[in-house]
Amino acid sequence: MDASEEAARGLSDIENFLYREAHLQAAQRRVAEFTARMPDLTREQTGDIERWYVEEQTYVAHMVTRHIADSITAAEARYRTRLMRRRRGTLAAMTLLTAVMMGLCVAVVLGMSV
């Protein structure tokens, strides 16, 4: 792996980390606002709710990411299948065209020698 590929990978890792942190901070803000509206909760209950909500948001984000990755993988597989069919069709057409052209060339050469 050369330096530019390594740098690109590092930037991607940093971007993913920052996205994940922003998502977690937003989840923590939302649940803190929610629990702040419930003054009867004990500190322990508030902590339990906040931990559960952040864990749930992390799980949901993971599931969404996995679904997107699976969808991309399936789309790539369909694309590869279509591409291979087109390549086979092109190869068959080019083979037929080459055979016809060779036949015409042979016919012209034989026609000239007679």
How far is residue 27's CA from residue 31's CA, in Å, rounded to a whole number? Answer: 6
Kindly indicate the confidence band of residue 99, based on its pLDDT and cuts at 50, 70 and 90.
very high
Q: Give alpha helix (H) positions in the chain.
A: 3-36, 43-113
pLDDT band per the 50, 70, 90 thresholds, residue 64: very high
Phi/psi at 39 (nearest 5 deg)?
Answer: -70, -15
pTM here? 0.63
Token digits for 100? 């016809």
Cα-based torsion angle of the residue sequence 29, 33, 38, 41 in order, rounded to the nearest 10 degrees: 20
The yes-or-no verdict on residue 1 having pLDDT over 80 is no
Tens of pLDDT, residue by residue over 28-47, are 999 999 999 999 999 999 99
Domain chopping of the chain, boundaries: 3-113
Amino acid occupying residue 64: V
Q: Which amino acid is at 31?
A: V
